[in-house]
């Protein structure tokens, strides 16, 4: 593993407290007796997202500690887990499509496109570890969207619009830092350019759709 990314697995542990603050009232407080607080979809989606976060954390740690064979086995498990992750998101699409604000379909659909793009590229470059790793980092960044969508309004009292632009700002900050790190060490930073361009399109479409809301 590249020296600058040896602690990537530990850094991704930050996804756990983010998930806690992003799903507190919908999962952790009511576990294991949910009652009417959670529907079946939300339980399913939460479990799948937590499993994906676990995979993102474990995989770089396996590489760091030279457990390459286990890394490959867990990676093959993602072929099964990733479609389930998308399926759990599709349930949200169905729910929103029947609501009073179908424009909010943008969020699960756009995030699904980003996930498919980044994961697809990660699998395509699975034998080129530096590129594979960077695109998997891209899938982790996508998780910031739904997490911030809860934390902003419910924890910090932000408006939905301000929360979304705050997410873009955080994403730009992260990608800029990662890109500069690679530039300083002469590494391949093209994946971060592709991820950044994808988010630029995400930002443009969001701004056009929600400009007058």
Domain boundaries, the chain: 3-210
Distance CA 81, CA 48 (A): 8
The per-residue pLDDT for 37 is 47
Distances (CA, A) of 161 to 87, 99, 148, 164, 197: 27, 19, 11, 5, 21
Residue 27: both structure tokens together: 């999962």
| Sign, CA torsion 168/21/41/49 | positive
Residue 172: both structure tokens together: 């730009």
Q: How far is CA 54 from the centre of its chain?
A: 12
Any idea what the Cα angle at residue 206 is, between residues 203 and 210, rounded to 5°? 140
- Output phi, psi for 180, to 5 deg: -65, -40
Tens of pLDDT, residue by residue, the chain (213 residues): 677 788 888 888 888 888 777 665 545 555 555 455 456 677 788 889 999 999 999 999 999 998 999 999 999 999 999 999 999 888 788 888 877 888 999 999 999 999 999 999 999 999 999 999 999 999 999 998 888 888 898 888 899 899 999 999 999 999 999 999 899 888 888 999 999 999 999 999 999 998 766
| pTM (predicted TM-score) | 0.89
The secondary structure element, H or E, covering residue 109 is: helix 106-124
| Sign, CA torsion 89/200/211/166 | positive
* Helix pair 40-64, 15-23: axis angle to 10 deg: 170
The overall longest dimension of the chain from CA atoms, in Å, is 54
């Amino acid at each position: 593993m590249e020296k600058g990314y040896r602690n990537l697995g530990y850094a991704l542990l930050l996804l756990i407290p983010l998930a806690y603050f992003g799903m507190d009232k919908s999962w952790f407080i009511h576990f294991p007796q949910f009652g009417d607080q959670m529907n079946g979809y939300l339980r399913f989606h939460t479990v799948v997202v937590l499993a994906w976060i676990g995979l993102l954390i474990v995989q770089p740690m396996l590489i760091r500690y030279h457990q390459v064979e286990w890394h490959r086995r867990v990676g093959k498990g993602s072929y099964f887990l990733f479609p389930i992750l998308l399926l759990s998101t599709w349930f949200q699409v169905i729910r929103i499509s029947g609501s009073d604000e179908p424009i909010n379909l943008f969020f699960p659909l756009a995030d699904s496109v980003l996930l498919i793009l980044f994961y697809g590229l990660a699998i395509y470059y699975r034998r080129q570890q530096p590129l594979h790793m960077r695109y998997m980092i891209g899938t982790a960044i996508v998780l910031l969207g739904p997490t911030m969508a809860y934390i902003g309004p419910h924890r910090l009292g932000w408006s939905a619009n301000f929360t979304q632009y705050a997410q873009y700002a955080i994403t730009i900050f992260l990608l800029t830092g990662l890109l500069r790190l690679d530039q300083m060490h002469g590494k391949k930073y093209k994946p971060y350019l592709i991820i950044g361009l994808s988010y630029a399109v995400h930002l443009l479409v969001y701004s056009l759709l929600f400009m007058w809301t």
